[in-house]
Structure 1
Amino acid sequence: MGETRGRVQVQLTDAFWKKKVEVVQREVIPYQWKALNDEIPDTEPSHAIENFKIAAGESSGDFYGMVFQDSDVAKWLEAVAYSLEHTADAELESLADSVIDLIGRAQMEDGYINTYYTVKAPEKRWTNLRDDHELYCMGHLMEAAVAYYQATGKRKFVDIMSKAADHIDSMFGPEEEKLKGYPGHQEIELALFRLYEVTENERYLSLAEFFINERGREPHYFIKEAEERKDERKFFWNGKFGYNQSHLPVREQTKAVGHSVRAVYMYSAMADIVAKTGDEELRRATERLWKNVIQQQMYITAGIGSMEHGEAFSTDYDLPNDISYTETCATIGLAFWARRMLKVAKRGEYGDVLERALYNGSISGMDLDGKKFFYVNPLEVVPELNRVRGEHHHVKPVRQPWFKCACCPPNLARLITSINHYIYSEEENELFVHLYMGNDSVMTVGGEEVRVTQETNYPWEGAVKLTITPSSGKNHAFTLAMRMPGWCASGQLSINGERFDIGDNIKDGYVYINREWAPGDIVDLYLPMEVQLIHANPKVRENFGKVAIQRGPVVYCIEEADNGPNLHTVSVPMNPASYVASFEEGLLDGVVSISCVAEKIELEALSEGPLYKAAEFSAASTRTVTLKAIPYYAWANRGEGEMRVWLNKLK
């Protein structure tokens, strides 16, 4: 087995992210364990652990839950694995070991693992790849197994899932006797790649490539299998929207369509394969799809999938704020994809999107205390409309304790606890810094261990200090490449107090510093964090004539809790110098809030007036107010109320 455990040792010290990791450890992981065991009152039962016990023959009863219920257990285990990297916890590790043992006992002799089919219909395995998530669930279990091995060094889970992968390989492939299918919900592709990385079993890489290459080919597999089981819905999922991205072979796809989470999971796997194999045709397809998502279909919060129907992409520039779907899992998947695109090429735009997703549309999916969650992350909320209008039914003004389809909470838990894996990457004799957050790390660069200590109060302040110490105690030559965020118009960099010229050493958004590093060398990077007023492309109809507030990587919103109701009547000044940023220790666990003098229409004075009239509202109906904006990710932590990101411009 290939040994990757310990290759990158990143100990998080960051005030912002360490607090969120601790919330997941203290609240979310224990809470989700209770949810998996149906121990939380007044919430939808999960039955996920009980399903495994029934499949193992250790309990009686029937399968209960969504067809992909196994994946909730997998993502919980993956979050546990990453948590153990931060903090040793013998009791939690023992609990995880017991769950892994249970999964092993529920595994069929041939390697197959899926509690739904094992309990309900063992004779129908692999007959409905389109809908029933067998490959998806086993993929999540594979990802958890890899994470657990890398965190603990224990191979049992990887061995279980390698046996499962061997079974899948015996069933699917280009050989005449094998099935030519692929998953309805992508996940197995990127999971097989991760399993390949730790086992070095080339069959797993080939199988991942097979699933990518086979998708969308004629004769269409989902239609064929639907006909075999006499399913009259055979054309539904493969309609003109390409719900599961099987409308065309992946190399021919030019626009992101269909279910957004499925899409970005597939794109992540495509990027993995490109980075490993150098497949140029697949690279071009991946980069085309990236450009379409980022330039035409992404919200300012890095939310994607604007359409509630199908949890899907709709059309270019269709980004409604109040009925947006923007599933938490979709932004998490976008972060996965961006991280993998950085393996394909070191371009600042990939790091910028990764950062935008991490600080905005992903962590907005969880309360600050880790006890409630959003599935949908809108950019505008009026609670009364959410209660009354049918097209708003999916938008909730407050987070929920749990969901029948509970994919988002455990997905967010595994993202947050794995955040230390997103900061750096190494390429031969180069060390890349993609994200700025406090950590104390040891990495292998150019064949030698190097300790890197990063100190910063990001994202509230733009000063970053890196201390470089080759572990040998001797000088070591390598290249340090630091991302210059796209939101930063001008930065400054110095080494041991001496100014370093950024302009002559920047390429694709990264500043390259090639030198012989002595123990204790200090790199200081300063990124001015000024308030920015962001305009959307004029093709985005909903935001024409409006602006959004951003500072550093953080997108801001205004809430009724600070500014009263009727937020649609607020107009803000267009001079960034009019805005004041202040850190408030006691606000929302400590955030930088932004205030300005704005104008707000007094609707109360108009309540008896006509519904329509020719003239503008009179000056008497407006008043000057001090407006306060907070980070978008922290909204809905102070009760129910209005919220909006895009604001009217003051004329």
Structure 2
Amino acid sequence: MPNLASARAALPLDLRSVHIQDSYWNRYVELIRTTVIPYQWEALNDRVPDAEPSHAIRNFRIAAGLEEGEFGGFFFQDTDLYKWLEAVGYSLAGHPDADLEKVADEAIELIAGAQLDDGYVNTYFTVAKPGDRWTNLLDCHEMYSAGHLIEGAVAYYHGTGKMRFLDVARRLADHIDERFGPNPGQLRGYDGHQELELALVKLYEATGERRYLELASFQIEERGQEPNYLVAEWEKRGRVSPWNPGAVQKSVNMAYHQAHKPVREQEVAIGHAVRAVYMYTAMADLALHKGDAGLLAACKRLWSNMTNKQMYVNGSIGSTHHGEAFTFDYDLPNDTNYSETCASIGLIFFARRMLQLEPKGEYADVMERALYNTVTAGIAGDGKHYFYVNPMEVWPAASEGNPGKHHVKAVRQKWYGCACCPPNVARLLSSLGHYIYTANEDTLYAHLYIGSEATHSLGGKQVTLSQKSGLPWAGEAGFTVAAIGAVGTVGAVGTVGTVGAVQGGADAEAATFTLALRVPSWSKATSFTLNGQPVQPEVTDGYARLTREWRVGDTFAISLDMEPRRVYSHSQLRANAGRVALQRGPLVYAFEETDNGAPLAALSLPRASALRPVPSDWRSDIVLLEMDGIRLSGAEDSLYSGEPPTATPQKLVAIPYTLWGNRKPGEMSVWIRETP
């Protein structure tokens, strides 16, 4: 891996050195591997009955000259295939599968066949607009699409060791590097949808080619500078957009693209939410690799605004469906919010990069919140249905009858014409091992409590740790030193090699290093043991650090407070005035019509009501919350009345938000009225 500006940076472990064995997360990991990846391949080939067509594979076949036809879908349709290949690369890293690898290799050959002699790859411009390449960066996602190709290629290279896809990616990156930059004869352009920037950093990490890092830096630094490239390009086109052909626009909103001012001067999260967090991720990457304190300061400002003033309780972002965007501080409506699944995935990317820069619990808290709630809510238990939008409140009749709520779905969909979210979920969950730990030469940080075995070089020795976790249902997790031996060939993400032999046993060597366990902000009473005896480690920045000479069999355990708790909003968050949400451990809970009847808006929860964890009749492996509540009912024959409603006691049941919508369609609400 290339040298980092900070020798103390804590990096994620190689996926091949992290093996997940967890009663909760194995369900998702296996679902992605055995169901989601095969299902999405069928969707990419337009073989899922009654689902919106993907066009992706067919577009590549046309671009490669294997069949005739017209381009189908959006400008960025290629990215569905690239993200699928990225998920496959991660999956193959942990679970080699010759049949899947063969299918992926054939898809990669299809992409290579569509690549032009100068390295350019984009089926929309190859098939539909061959003369218009690089003329509309504002709207047409050319660099965005290139970025996803590069990410897919890097993942596939790490997962298989094969160079074919990586070579395609390098040729494309070289083409962009030749066309764009600060030098005479180059275009000073950048994409309207960020993605290439973070992908170029990954390509730099995989190849060691510094020019890819510098191209990413140019793209970030040029954004929002005057004269504004995107505005000038728009003027040159006659102020028209392919999103609205024939209409001359009066203005173009650069804040939507986070190009309204240089990135170092930006202070609030604004514009399209996915674009924003992809850009923030790249900024954090560059701050890490270049030791750039100014970029880090900008990242911290934007993180603070986004998570403290513009994030939902389930870790979702982007409050309006108009542009899938942020609006302004504390504007977080529950019944019309957008909260795109991709945006929470991008938030997780950003959080992990911030953890690499400075391991602070606040970043991992948000990463955990988004992962356990929004991201996993985006996929059904069968692996074949998906949410694009993740609302806080659903009234199915309003979703059908109110044009302002058509984007809010009461049931997950088989596929989408704009299907960015389903393969995004697949690539995140198949790379889950990247998010559990980070490490440097003498400290291993455990950010997520997910049962797993991890091998890494610590204190000059190769150490294997075994984590056992009861989350999200029980608050116990323990880390046992399983083996210590000579340093093998496993390193940080970005390196290529195999896991070396690790020697254990009674005569194994000792190793001195630090284990740092995150203390979640939701755990109000946390305790620790070392080899079964109480211990009080140093707790700073949200991590409990224990430094000692470790030997095989040593166990460092954490006990977390799983008492259900009420969550209240800031007084300026008007949508939640007088309302309360419920959380237990990392899980936010929601009320469904299936358990409580309709309308949910008539329910209220007395402040004194106890929150009781109870087993579920639906699934034996989950914990529900039960409580004594009230239903209000008024006169049924009059829209308005002078008589107050009648209060009737009713038992209320809340289920984890991530699991809502997996039974009968109906109403759902996260926030419930609280009464004294």
Please show how residues 188-203 of structure 1 align to structure 2 within 5 Å. Answer: 188-203=196-211
Match in the other structure for 2:630 = 599
Aligned length: 640
Distance 1:5 1:381, change over 3 A: closer
Deviation of the 1:485 alpha carbon:
0.4
- Asked whether the 8 Å contact 1:425–1:432 carries over to 2, the reply is yes
Deviation of the 1:629 alpha carbon:
0.4
- Asked whether the 8 Å contact 1:432–1:480 carries over to 2, the reply is yes
Match in the other structure for 2:504 = none
- Asked whether the 8 Å contact 2:412–2:661 carries over to 1, the reply is yes
Match in the other structure for 2:511 = 476
Distance 1:50 1:236, change over 3 A: farther
AA partner of residue 317 (structure 1): Y
Match of 1:17 among 18, 25, 40: 25
Look up the SS of the partner of 1:454 in the other structure: strand
- Asked whether the 8 Å contact 2:437–2:447 carries over to 1, the reply is yes
1:117 aligns to 2:125 (yes or no): yes
Distance 1:156 1:447, change over 3 A: farther
Q: How far apart in 1 are the matches of 2:204 and 2:252?
A: 31
Deviation of the 1:608 alpha carbon:
2.2
Match of 1:616 among 623, 644, 650: 644
Distance 1:315 1:410, change over 3 A: same
Match of 1:583 among 597, 615, 618: 615
Deviation of the 1:650 alpha carbon:
2.4
Match of 1:315 among 304, 308, 328: 328
- Asked whether the 8 Å contact 1:533–1:574 carries over to 2, the reply is no
Match in the other structure for 2:70 = 62
Match of 1:150 among 139, 158, 168: 158
Distance 1:229 1:610, change over 3 A: closer
Deviation of the 1:638 alpha carbon:
0.8
- Asked whether the 8 Å contact 2:522–2:586 carries over to 1, the reply is yes
Question: Which deviates the most, 565-574 or 587-596?
Answer: 587-596
Q: How far apart in 2 are the matches of 1:575 and 1:182?
A: 55
AA partner of residue 457 (structure 1): G
- Asked whether the 8 Å contact 2:13–2:456 carries over to 1, the reply is no
1:127 aligns to 2:135 (yes or no): yes
Q: How far apart in 1 are the matches of 2:524 and 2:372?
A: 19
Please show how residues 333-344 of structure 1 align to structure 2 within 5 Å. Answer: 333-344=346-357
- Asked whether the 8 Å contact 1:5–1:153 carries over to 2, the reply is no
Distance 1:13 1:360, change over 3 A: same
- Asked whether the 8 Å contact 2:15–2:93 carries over to 1, the reply is no
Q: How far apart in 1 are the matches of 2:250 and 2:152?
A: 32
**Percent identity among equivalent residues?**
47
- Asked whether the 8 Å contact 1:303–1:327 carries over to 2, the reply is yes
Deviation of the 1:280 alpha carbon:
1.2
Match in the other structure for 1:299 = 312
Deviation of the 1:5 alpha carbon:
9.5
Please show how residues 346-361 of structure 1 align to structure 2 within 5 Å. Answer: 346-361=359-374
Distance 1:307 1:602, change over 3 A: same
Match of 1:558 among 576, 591, 607: 591
Match in the other structure for 1:445 = 458
Match of 1:286 among 274, 280, 299: 299
- Aligned-residue RMSD, C-alpha: 1.7
Match in the other structure for 1:47 = 55
Match of 2:227 among 210, 213, 219: 219
AA partner of residue 320 (structure 2): M
Residues 161-219 of structure 1, C-alpha deviations (whole Å, 9 max, x = no match): 01111111001111121110001110000000011101010000000000000000111
- Asked whether the 8 Å contact 1:78–1:144 carries over to 2, the reply is yes
AA partner of residue 253 (structure 1): Q
Q: How far apart in 1 are the matches of 2:269 and 2:38?
A: 36
Look up the SS of the partner of 2:256 in the other structure: coil
- Asked whether the 8 Å contact 2:470–2:476 carries over to 1, the reply is yes
AA partner of residue 602 (structure 2): T
1:494 aligns to 2:529 (yes or no): yes
Match of 1:412 among 397, 408, 425: 425
1:524 aligns to 2:537 (yes or no): no
Deviation of the 1:531 alpha carbon:
0.4
Deviation of the 1:278 alpha carbon:
1.7
**Greater relative contact order (Cα < 8 A, sep 6+):** 2
- Asked whether the 8 Å contact 2:239–2:249 carries over to 1, the reply is no
Match of 1:245 among 258, 266, 274: 258
Match of 1:639 among 649, 652, 664: 664
- Asked whether the 8 Å contact 1:5–1:149 carries over to 2, the reply is no
Look up the SS of the partner of 1:471 in the other structure: strand
- Asked whether the 8 Å contact 1:477–1:515 carries over to 2, the reply is yes
Q: How far apart in 2 are the matches of 1:238 and 1:280?
A: 32
Q: How far apart in 2 are the matches of 1:279 and 1:454?
A: 35
Deviation of the 1:106 alpha carbon:
1.1
Look up the SS of the partner of 1:311 in the other structure: coil
Match in the other structure for 1:630 = 655
Q: How far apart in 2 are the matches of 1:237 and 1:49?
A: 36
- Asked whether the 8 Å contact 2:61–2:110 carries over to 1, the reply is yes
Please show how residues 252-263 of structure 1 align to structure 2 within 5 Å. Answer: 252-263=265-276
Look up the SS of the partner of 1:323 in the other structure: coil
AA partner of residue 128 (structure 1): N
Q: How far apart in 2 are the matches of 1:371 and 1:99?
A: 21
Gaps of 5+ in 1: none
Q: How far apart in 1 are the matches of 2:207 and 2:38?
A: 31
Q: How far apart in 2 are the matches of 1:490 and 1:409?
A: 37
Deviation of the 1:118 alpha carbon:
1.2
AA partner of residue 444 (structure 1): S
Give the TM-score of the pair, scaled to structure 1.
0.96
- Asked whether the 8 Å contact 1:599–1:650 carries over to 2, the reply is no
Distance 1:573 1:470, change over 3 A: same
- Asked whether the 8 Å contact 1:112–1:164 carries over to 2, the reply is yes
Residues 597-642 of structure 1, C-alpha deviations (whole Å, 9 max, x = no match): 1111235xx20256032x533xxx2211111100001111112101
Look up the SS of the partner of 2:226 in the other structure: coil
Deviation of the 1:574 alpha carbon:
2.1
Match in the other structure for 2:415 = 402
AA partner of residue 608 (structure 1): D
Look up the SS of the partner of 1:49 in the other structure: helix
